Structure 1
């Protein structure tokens, strides 16, 4: 029988790195994926030394669908992928008319296309191998439109919808799909998104990445479809059902706007 492996994208930083540490502590062999090979190698060395597990490093540009497809073929060759964590993703802060088109398209490619390709491969693979679990990292952004981060919110709405739909299709079987939907979390995301000055990050608590990853991992193991971390985030996720959509969208845009408002 092929060895069982856990495949984690976005593993070089933030939540992805924390998921790798959680999986390693359980004795799981790992495949770590991100663009930055040196960071992956550093993490791999740490985990091999501490937990005596096998760790494969597979750098990849997930904005290239052909590279994603090749990544899966390499990862699943003579291996059983028991857990897939789709963590890789990024967004841009700013008005839709002003943000860089190429960067927005790359965001869609990573957040939507790469996740879909890996998930598509994983479902069939896991069903044929006797079962498995898929954890898709979404966001509370997926519950509402997000002026000033319009494309990012749209991609996370896709992740949430796809995860729920496929989870229902697989209901009662041996493969589960979980969407983890955290709010603001202390990772490198904010810097990449150029949103360090957004009101959201100045007035609301920012969660610790390890705590969010642990909550998502537990939810995945229990087969839950959606995991929203934090009491405020659960309220935030429910808000579109409790108030007029236009009002919710306006408030979201205010919180995502950078500059002009000082809250500390």
Structure 2
């Protein structure tokens, strides 16, 4: 019986982090399904990777800000040839102070960052749990830990990814499905230009190459790390964060208010 190669579906694959995931997975013998809005860029990347690595590369042009686009990708996750790995990478930042928000821009961003990721995670989990195997990687952001003026919408969307993925990890336990949460910092891609910023505004020591991020993520899978924060020196810092969270959770629902609210009585 001929051996079949694993197949990965990558969203936001036409540039930046998504493109680098596609390149790394192609080099390690994965067939690919590449998803993004720009069909011409997808086709150029598919031609390049297919020729260089003798793999099969499908393209699936889709706008994940639209229901039709999301459902087209969700449908592909349930079809043959089977998808073994989903990289939920598509996302962008629409920023603005809350009092000045452009709600059309916010709506479109949340559809991609929150709703599309949720629907594709749902479709992949359903298929992978039934098969007893598979890998899902969801990309959050270091801004999930930060509060900055003008970043409420984007930061909240990445907080959602963080929380949603951690719940997925609990549900995936014992199913054979791996779920990894990746929390990047500032990455050297065109993401920042699209968001109206400039990489030159960040100190060089804070900016990571997309290639290094992807290497950390894929190596983290080998190490069975559910949480990949590529530049975090000690994973114990994350563990301390989770422990502090657990202490708050233990006291968030009690039958009486805390003593400090008793007006000194």
Shorter-chain TM range is 0.7 to 0.9
Supply the distance in 1 between the matched residues of 2:164 and 2:42 (Cα, whole angstroms). 28
Worse overlay, 210-219 or 227-236: 227-236
CA shift in 2, pair 1:81/1:197, >3 Å: closer
Supply the distance in 2 between the matched residues of 1:149 and 1:11 (Cα, whole angstroms). 25
Structure number with bigger Rg: 2
Supply the distance in 2 between the matched residues of 1:232 and 1:101 (Cα, whole angstroms). 38
Question: Shift of the alpha carbon at 1:49?
Answer: 0.7
Residues 77 and 123, structure 2, Cα contact 8 Å, conserved in 1: no
CA shift in 2, pair 1:119/1:143, >3 Å: same
CA shift in 2, pair 1:240/1:195, >3 Å: farther
Equivalent residue, structure 1, for 2:250? none
Would you identify which runs of 4 or more consecutive aligned residues in structure 1 move more than 3 Å? 1-4, 220-223, 231-241
RMSD: 2.8
Residues 35 and 59, structure 1, Cα contact 8 Å, conserved in 2: yes
- Unaligned 5+ runs, structure 2: 243-265
Residues 7 and 31, structure 1, Cα contact 8 Å, conserved in 2: yes
Residues 144 and 240, structure 1, Cα contact 8 Å, conserved in 2: no
CA deviation string 1:215-235 (max 9, x = no partner) = 112223444221111148989
CA shift in 2, pair 1:81/1:118, >3 Å: same
Residues 84 and 122, structure 1, Cα contact 8 Å, conserved in 2: yes
CA shift in 2, pair 1:172/1:222, >3 Å: farther
User: Which structure would you say has the larger RCO, counting Cα contacts within 8 Å and 6 or more residues apart?
Assistant: 1
Residue among 95, 98, 107 paired with 2:97: 95
Supply the distance in 2 between the matched residues of 1:238 and 1:146 (Cα, whole angstroms). 24
Supply the distance in 1 between the matched residues of 2:233 and 2:150 (Cα, whole angstroms). 21
**Aligned pairs, how many?**
242
Worse overlay, 11-20 or 172-181: 172-181
CA deviation string 1:81-108 (max 9, x = no partner) = 1000000000123323334221111110
Equivalent residue, structure 2, for 1:134? 136
Instruction: Map 1:211-250 onto structure 2 (within 5 A).
Output: 211-231=212-232
Question: Shift of the alpha carbon at 1:53?
Answer: 0.3
1:105 aligns with 2:107: yes
- Unaligned 5+ runs, structure 1: 242-264
1:55 aligns with 2:57: yes
Normalised TM-score (structure 1) = 0.83
CA shift in 2, pair 1:30/1:66, >3 Å: same
Supply the distance in 1 between the matched residues of 2:69 and 2:62 (Cα, whole angstroms). 7
Q: Secondary structure at the match of 1:145?
A: coil
Equivalent residue, structure 1, for 2:207? 206
Supply the distance in 2 between the matched residues of 1:3 and 1:19 (Cα, whole angstroms). 16
